[in-house]
Amino acid sequence: MRPIAARFVLTTLVLAGLCAPVHAAERVERSTALIMGKPAGYQEARYADDGSVTVHYEYNDRGRGPKLDARYTLAPDGTPNQSEINGLAYFKTKVAETYRRDTKQTSWRNESEQEAHDGALPGFYVALDSVPEESILLARALIQAPDHHLTLLPVGDVRIRKLKEASLKVGGRKQQAVLWAFEGMDLSPSYLWLDHEHRFLAYYSSWQSLVREGFEDGLAQLGAWQDQVSSESITKRAQTLSHWLKQDLLVEHARVFDPVTGTVAEDQSLLIRDGRIVDVGKSGSLMVSDDAQRLDAKGQFAMPGLWDMHVHVGDNDGLLHLAGGVTTVRDLANDRDSLSARIKAYESGQDIGPRVIRAGFIDGRSPYSGPTKVFADNEDEARAALLQFKKDGVFEQVKVYSSLKPELVPLIAKLAHEQGMRLSGHVPDGMSPEQFVEAGADEIQHANFLMLNFLDRSKIDTRTPQRFSAVADQGNSVDLNSPAVANFINLLRQHGTVLDPTVMTFEDMFLDRPGRMGPTYDETLHRFPSTWQRSFRAGNGGLAVTKDTDLVHRRSYRKMLDLVGLMHRSGVTLVAGTDALVPFGLARELELYTHAGIPPKDALKIATWQSAQVMKRDRDYGRLAPGYVADLILIDGDPTHLITDLLRVRTVIRGDRWFDAKALHEAVGLKP
Best CA proximity match to 192, nearest among 150, 170, 221, 161? 161
How does strand 498-500 pair with strand 443-445? parallel
Best CA proximity match to 14, nearest among 145, 206, 176, 208? 208
Mean pLDDT computed over every residue of the chain: 94
Return the pLDDT at 560: 98
Best CA proximity match to 575, nearest among 443, 438, 388? 443
Rounded-to-integer distance, Cα 191 and Cα 205, Å: 9
CB 326 within 8 Å of CB 305: yes
Kindly list the distances between the CA atom of residue 501 and the CA atoms of 310, 390, 450, 564, in Å, as whole numbers in the listed order: 9, 28, 8, 7
Across the strands, what pairs with 272?
249, 277
Return the pLDDT at 91: 87
Could you give the angle at the alpha carbon of 443 between the alpha carbons of 438 and 446, nearest 5°?
Answer: 115
Question: What backbone phi and psi angles, to 5 degrees, belong to 287?
Answer: -80, 120
pTM, two decimals, is: 0.92
pLDDT bucket at 672, cuts 50 / 70 / 90? confident
Across the strands, what pairs with 594?
none
Q: How many helices (H) and strands (E) does the chain have?
A: 18, 32
Return the pLDDT at 4: 35
Return the pLDDT at 51: 86
Is the pLDDT reported for residue 13 higher than 90? no
User: DSSP alpha helices (H): ranges in 363-406?
Assistant: 379-392
Region of residue 37 (left: phi > 0; alpha: psi -120 to 50; beta: else): left
The DSSP string of 270-327 is EEEETTEEEEEEETT-S---TT-EEEE-TT-EEEEPEEEEEE---TTHHHHHHHTTEE
Contacts of 642 (CB under 8 A, 6+ apart): 600
Percentage helix, strand, coil, to 5, in the chain?
30, 30, 40
Q: Around Cβ 363, how many Cβ atoms within 10 Å?
A: 27
Return the pLDDT at 183: 93
Return the pLDDT at 73: 96
For the chain, what is the largest distance between any 2 Cα atoms, rounded to a whole number of angstroms? 81
How does strand 105-109 pair with strand 94-101? antiparallel
Rounded-to-integer distance, Cα 396 and Cα 420, Å: 7
Question: What backbone phi and psi angles, to 5 degrees, belong to 648?
Answer: -115, 40
Can you give 212-231 as a three-state secondary structure string? ECCCHHHHHHHHHHHHHHHH
Q: Around Cβ 405, how many Cβ atoms within 10 Å?
A: 18
Across the strands, what pairs with 39?
34
Query: Residues 388-447: pLDDT tens digits?
Result: 999 999 999 999 999 999 999 999 999 999 999 999 999 999 999 999 999 999 999 999
Best CA proximity match to 317, nearest among 36, 654, 586, 38? 586
CB 379 within 8 Å of CB 405: no
Radius of gyration of the chain (CA): 25
Is the pLDDT reported for residue 195 higher than 90? yes
Return the pLDDT at 153: 95
Across the strands, what pairs with 196?
none
Q: Around Cβ 519, how many Cβ atoms within 10 Å?
A: 14
pLDDT bucket at 188, cuts 50 / 70 / 90? confident
Query: Residues 632-641: pLDDT tens digits?
Result: 999 999 999 9
Provide the terminal-to-terminal Cα distance of the chain, rounded to the nearest Å: 28
Counting beta carbons within 10 angstroms of the beta carbon of residue 668, is it exposed (0 to 12), middle (13 to 18) or buried (19 or more)? middle
Rounded-to-integer distance, Cα 529 and Cα 265, Å: 38
The mean pLDDT value for 367-373 works out to 91
Rounded-to-integer distance, Cα 604 and Cα 578, Å: 15
Return the pLDDT at 25: 61
Rounded-to-integer distance, Cα 569 and Cα 413, Å: 28
Across the strands, what pairs with 80?
74
Q: Around Cβ 28, how many Cβ atoms within 10 Å?
A: 11
Rounded-to-integer distance, Cα 441 and Cα 357, Å: 18
Rounded-to-integer distance, Cα 446 and Cα 12, Å: 28
Return the pLDDT at 86: 97
CATH 3.20.20.140 residue ranges of the chain are 359-617
Counting beta carbons within 10 angstroms of the beta carbon of residue 89, is it exposed (0 to 12), middle (13 to 18) or buried (19 or more)? buried
Is the pLDDT reported for residue 545 higher than 50? yes
Rounded-to-integer distance, Cα 373 and Cα 490, Å: 36
Query: How many Cα atoms within 13 Å fall on the side-chain side of residue 49?
Result: 2
Share of the chain above pLDDT 90, in %: 90
pLDDT bucket at 206, cuts 50 / 70 / 90? confident
Rounded-to-integer distance, Cα 370 and Cα 36, Å: 9
Question: What backbone phi and psi angles, to 5 degrees, belong to 635?
Answer: -120, 135
CB 258 within 8 Å of CB 605: no
CB 200 within 8 Å of CB 31: yes
- Could you tell me the CATH superfamily of domain 359-617? Metal-dependent hydrolases (3.20.20.140)
Contacts of 536 (CB under 8 A, 6+ apart): 8, 517, 521, 525, 528
Q: Around Cβ 544, how many Cβ atoms within 10 Å?
A: 15
Rounded-to-integer distance, Cα 14 and Cα 320, Å: 20
Region of residue 637 (left: phi > 0; alpha: psi -120 to 50; beta: else): left
Please state which of the ranges 337-341, 429-433, 625-629 shows the lowest mean pLDDT. 337-341
Query: Residues 328-338: pLDDT tens digits?
Result: 999 999 988 88
Query: Residues 32-80: pLDDT tens digits?
Result: 999 988 899 999 999 998 889 999 999 999 988 999 999 999 999 999 9
The mean pLDDT value for 138-163 works out to 96
Spacing of C-alpha 525 from chain mean position: 17
